Amino acid sequence: MNFLDRDRVLTWLYDHLPQRRVDHILRVEQVAEDLALVHGVDPEKSRQAGLLHDLAKFYPPDTLLSTARQQGHRIHPVEQAHPHLLHAWVSAVEANRLFGVESPEILAAIRNHTLGCPGMDALSGIIFLADALEPGRGEGAKLNQIRAWSQQNWHKAVWKTCDHTLKQLLKAGQMIHPQMLETRNWAMAQAKLKKDDKLESLDRL
Ligand SMILES: Nc1ncnc2c1ncn2[C@@H]1O[C@H](COP(=O)(O)OP(=O)(O)O)[C@@H](O)[C@H]1O
C-alpha cells in the first residue's frame, strides 16, 4: 500500500465538493475504520478507501461516461440512463490518477461502494456498508438493525442493505441496476453459509 497524504486529499475534497459531502466522507472514513477493526481488515486501507470513495461524486454525466469508456468499462444500459451510477467506478480511476493509489483492494472497494459486487472481499463489503450506514443516514429502526448486523455478520448486513436500497428504488419508481441484485443474492447465500457453519460447530460440542 502506498503512502497517502491525507491532508492533500482533504484539500482536494474541500476544493471540489460541498461541505455536506465532505462531512459524509469523513463519517464514512470513521465507520470504515471501526468496521475494519471488528472484522480483522487493515484499518488504514479501510480509512483510505472511505476517504477516496466519492472523488467523482460531482463530475458531470459526460465526464463520467467518457472516463469509464476510456478505461475500458462496458457501460450498462442503466448506467447510460443514469451516469451518476458511474461515480463509484470513476472515483477509483481518480484515486489512482490524482493520489497514486495502486492497491487493487482499495481501488475495488471504491468501485464497489454503490452497487457492491458478488464475491467482493471484506474491505469492499465494509466500504459499501460504511457508505450506507454512517450516522448521517439517519436513525430509522431498519438502519439501526442493519448497523447491529454489520458488527456481527457483514455479509448479512450487505444483503439487508441491498434489500433496503432496492425497496426504496422500487417505491420511487426508479430503474434498478442488476449488479445490486447479484450482490444481494450472493451476500444472502454467504450469510446463510456462515449461519450453518456456526450451527455445525455447536453440534460438534
Ligand atoms: N441498484 C441500483 N440501481 C439504480 N440506482 C441505484 C442502485 N443503487 C443505488 N442507486 C442510486 O445511486 C445513487 C448513488 O448511490 P450511493 O453512492 O450509494 O449514495 P450516495 O450518493 O447517497 O452516497 C443513489 O441515488 C442511489 O439511490
| Residue 115 CA, ligand 1 centroid: distance in Å | 7
pTM summary value: 0.95
How far apart are alpha carbons 75 and 66 in whole angstroms?
A: 10
pLDDT class for 199, splitting at 50, 70, 90? low
CA nearest 149: which of 94, 54, 80, 162? 162
Spell out the long-range contacts of 106-111 with Cβ–Cβ below 8 A and sequence spacing 24 or more.
106/1, 106/45, 106/48, 106/49, 106/52, 109/45, 109/46, 109/49, 109/53, 110/49, 110/52, 110/53, 110/55
Domains along the sequence of the chain with CATH: 3-204 (1.10.3210.10)
Question: For the residues 73-81, what does the mean pLDDT come to?
Answer: 98
Indicate whether residue 146 lines ligand 1 (CB < 6 A).
Answer: no
Indicate whether residue 169 lines ligand 1 (CB < 6 A).
Answer: yes
Residue nearest to atom 15 of ligand 1 (CA): 114
Please tell me the predicted confidence (pLDDT) of residue 194.
79
pLDDT class for 149, splitting at 50, 70, 90? very high
How far apart are alpha carbons 101 and 97 in whole angstroms?
A: 8
Q: Is the pLDDT of residue 1 over 90?
A: no
What number is the ipTM of this complex? Answer: 0.95
How far apart are alpha carbons 195 and 190 in whole angstroms?
A: 9
Indicate whether residue 175 lines ligand 1 (CB < 6 A).
Answer: yes
